[in-house]
Structure 1
Amino acid sequence: MEITITVERPEDGPGSGPIQVGWFLTKDKNAVLYDPPERVMFRQQNRSHAKSAARCPGVIQLESRYFMVKCPFDLQIGFGRDKDGRAVLINRLGSASPVRGNKLNEMLTLVNEAEWRYPDRPTIQLSLPYCFIADELVYLTQLSPFMHYRADPLPGTIFGGRFPISVWPRPLMWAFEWHEPQKDLVLRRGEPLFYVQFEGMDPSRAVQVIAAERTAELDTYIDQIGGAVNYVNQTFGLFKAAEALRPKKLLTPKARE
């Protein structure tokens, strides 16, 4: 699937045309659950009036810069403590849950209480296989889906993040800080889970998101940098070392079927 934002540019050659960003899944297992990222675009808007917000260039420019990743699961999770006072997650759907309990434990993690930013705000992480790459300097910013309305707001906020996918491609995760742990966390399959935004050296250039092949070189490089966060505190300090290992080309567009 290809998603393109078109901006006219008079120049040709390196640094002109759209920035190419590749996306892929780091594992094939259950790949059917994970929809391709989509450009944020609101259909069926009122465009009849010349001053409609749907026709405002500023609004259009803003919306065109964000890509949406949808939630792959239906979840309703509660927070509690066991008889020893240890923090635990509770699957409110029980046997009615679409996700089996053992699989839920594999993908949803309650962060160690000592690592919470605030003692009264539990932090959880949902592991995902989405990964983005680029062959020029591109920063990815992950943030909440602020342009989509929820009738039942989440009882907390998501952790955003920003890092260069050109040198540090890694699987994304959805991290949540539970401000109101007495309220359940409800996620629905198909609803926006988070946005990603891509920034190159020239902010006027368009962004093109394409499906990427998982080549042997790409898999090797990700293995070389993967898991470093478990051993050092400041992974950004490893960027120079990662650049020395990086193949010249990581992004190979996936052949259309």
Structure 2
Amino acid sequence: MYAPSTRCPIGFCLTDQEGGFAFAPPRTVFSTRDRPLGMRAVQNCPAVNSMERQLVELPAPIGLRLKMTKGPQGGFGLQVVEQGTFVQPDKLKDMLVVEPPARWRHPRKPVIQLRLPFFLVTDEPCTVSQLPPFLGPSIRRWPGTVVAGRWPLTLWPQNLSWAFEWEDPGQELVIKQGEPLCLFLFEFDRPEKRPEMIEAALTPELEEYRQGMQGLHHITDKIEQVWEMARMRRPQRLLVPLDEVENA
């Protein structure tokens, strides 16, 4: 029997307010689609609609043009091409890193990581997968693969990052501001639930809870066990809409 959809709030929160107006909020794929050309167009397929209602895309907050260079001893370095990059060097230094080779999947495929000033939070039973932006044009230009991941969002409102395996270091990586950087697929405890994006407030309770997950990768590799500890310590409510706080 068909069950009507239920909207489940997913909060997004900026962790760095400096320049925050430049960061477009996450948006549902379903809400950004073109109008169907006819009754049998892709947008009228129930299977496509069921998927795209669950998908949320994150627009790239900055524009970047990067080259991967080889050092004298065979190592890799990162060169920022000014024409096509609209971020000040000091700001970019805080956001962009080349991971050490021990963290790569393959010795000839460097991995870079872009730290994002966002996190997601929800009180719903929910697991989220961060995926390549396979519905957008950018992925067809990129010389490599976006690293995907999956975690229990209810327990883990972690800082977001974007990792990229540079499969062809001879090609430039161009990220255009506003184009999809990645997709989020939300899985709930019931199939009729759908994500609804709202701006969240960084309340003292949420900030304190998040402190328990900061820097854990420097301490332990048993993150799944830490998730169980987080389950026991989690307050009942972490997601507070920002407008609820502002209007209080």
State whether TM-score is above 0.5. Answer: yes
The 5-angstrom pairing of residues 163-202 of structure 1 reads 163-202=151-190
**Would you say 1:32 and 2:12 are equivalent positions?**
no
Give structure 1 stretches of 5+ with no counterpart.
1-6, 10-16
Deviations 1:19-75 (A, max 9, x none): 22111112222211211101113544334x322222222222221111110111111
CA deviations over 1:139-195 (Å, ceiling 9, x no partner): 111001111124952000001111011111101100000010110111011111001
Q: Note the 1:218-237 alignment, pairs <5 A.
A: 218-237=206-225
Distance 1:238 1:156, change over 3 A: same
**Is contact 1:148–1:192 with CA below 8 Å preserved after alignment?**
yes
Give the conservation status (yes or no) of the 8 Å contact 1:141–1:197. Answer: yes
Q: Is the 8 A contact 2:7 2:193 kept in 1?
A: yes
Q: Residues 49-64 of structure 1: matches in 2 within 5 Å?
A: 49-64=38-53
User: Are the equivalent residues in 2 in contact too, given 1:159–1:176 (CA < 8 A)?
Assistant: yes
CA-based RMSD of the aligned residues comes to: 1.9
Which of 21, 36, 39 is residue 46 of structure 1 equivalent to? 36
- State the match for 1:3 in structure 2: none
Mapped to 2, the partners of 1:210 and 1:46 lie a distance apart of 27
Segment drifting more, 28-37 vs 188-197: 28-37
**1:123-142 pair list within 5 angstroms:** 123-142=111-130
Counterpart secondary structure, 1:106: helix
Amino acid at match of 1:252: V
Q: Is the 8 A contact 1:155 1:185 kept in 2?
A: yes
Give every structure 1 segment of 4 or more consecutive aligned residues whose post-TM-superposition deviation is greater than 4 Å. none
3-state SS of 2:48 partner: helix
- Residue equivalent to 1:143: 131
1:155 — aligned with what? 143
Distance change in 2, residues 1:175/1:151 (3 Å): closer
Q: 1:212, 1:252 within 8 Å by CA — same for their partners in 2?
A: yes
Supply the AA of the counterpart residue of 1:168.
W
Q: Does 1:80 align with 2:69?
A: yes
TM-score scaled by structure 2?
Answer: 0.90
Q: Which amino acid aligns with 1:25?
A: L
Contact between 2:143 and 2:166, CA under 8 Å: does it hold in 1? Answer: yes
Please tell me whether the aligned partners of residues 221 and 246 of structure 1 are also in contact (alpha carbons under 8 angstroms).
yes
Residue matched to 2:4: 8
Q: Which structure has more strand as a fraction of its residues?
A: 2
- Aligned residues with identical type, % of pairs: 31
Q: CA deviation at 1:93?
A: 2.0
Q: Structure 1 CA distance, aligned partners of 2:67 and 2:224?
A: 34
5+ unaligned residues in a row in structure 2: which ranges?
Answer: none
Letter in 2 for 1:163: W
